[in-house]
Amino acid sequence: MNLLSVYDKFNQTSPAEGALASFRQAAFDYASKKGLPTRKDEEWHYTSVKTLNENNFVPALVNPVNPSHDTMTAIKRILIPEFANIVFFNGVLNKTLSEELPAGFTVREPSEYPTQFADAFDALNGVYQEKLFTIVLAKETSVEKPVNFVFYTSDEGGPALMTNPRIRLEVGARSSVRLLESHYGSASKYFVNSFFDLHVNESAKVTYVRVQAEGLQAVNIGRTRITMAKHAHLESLAFATGAALSRHNLEVLLKGEGSSSEVLGVYAVSGNQHVDKIGRAHV
């Protein structure tokens, strides 16, 4: 798989130890064995990702750069003043553009690392993780200001970049929060492979919106997994308008008695754009 060809170089520029190193290696082994899906795979019958093997996408973290003044201006235009905007540029948190998380949130290192992968894209995301963190909202906390995780990709780090955003967020019992995951980028060719892992604890309420408005040469493959505990409630909307090729895998796991979800999707594309959405709910 071409997407794994720079794994050794990535390890040299972003070395890892202990559990993170083991996680990366397990992800690499899985992705190497599994390979990218083809149209012979039932779930990918209508979507081809062969372009990912035809281009030499390089992880942005191999050659990290800071956004130019023009790019900073472009990013500021898409930020929502009424939201708490947490901005990632080419996969790296940009502290200049980001605000503090609202009161009630804490950030910690994960207590454990994943040992299984849903598919090759999930594993590929793990291969190129520099760090892993878990964002936790305390129990019995109502967050008034929506939180916007903004991922912006630009070719300033070189042509055909690849980024692998990964967010794990835990919402405490009886808490409520509105979350936005938004993807934007420049007009260049790049590949975004994201994973948003959301855990909603007992009687918590979450509104989750995913916006995909990438540049029109981009590829965006996204996975959202939402695990719902007892009496937890979810309202979700996925909106896609960008990218040459995009696919969103949404998995809602109703693990607790009385948990519920409402899932909606809106797509506004034209010309040769290809958008694919897979949604599943498991009890």
Tokens of 230: 């007892």
Split at pLDDT 50, 70, 90, the class of 183 is: very high
| Cα(132)–Cα(215) distance, integer angstroms | 27
For residues 246-271, average pLDDT: 95
Split at pLDDT 50, 70, 90, the class of 1 is: confident
Tokens of 199: 């855990």
Contact 186, 160 (CB under 8 A): no
* 3-state per-residue secondary structure call for 163-195: ECCEEEEEECCCCEEEEEEEEEECCCCEEEEEE
Residue 261 reports pLDDT greater than 90: yes
Encode pLDDT of 33-55 as tens digits: 999 999 999 889 999 999 998 88
DSSP annotation string for 38-101: -TTSGGGTT---THHHHS--EEGGGS--PPPHHHHHHHHHH--TTSEEEEEETTEE-TTTPPPP
Mean pLDDT of the chain: 95
Encode pLDDT of 199-230 as tens digits: 999 999 999 999 999 999 999 999 999 999 99
pLDDT for 71: 95
Q: What predicted TM-score, i.e. pTM, was given to this entire model?
A: 0.96
Residue 190 reports pLDDT greater than 90: yes
Contact 195, 122 (CB under 8 A): yes
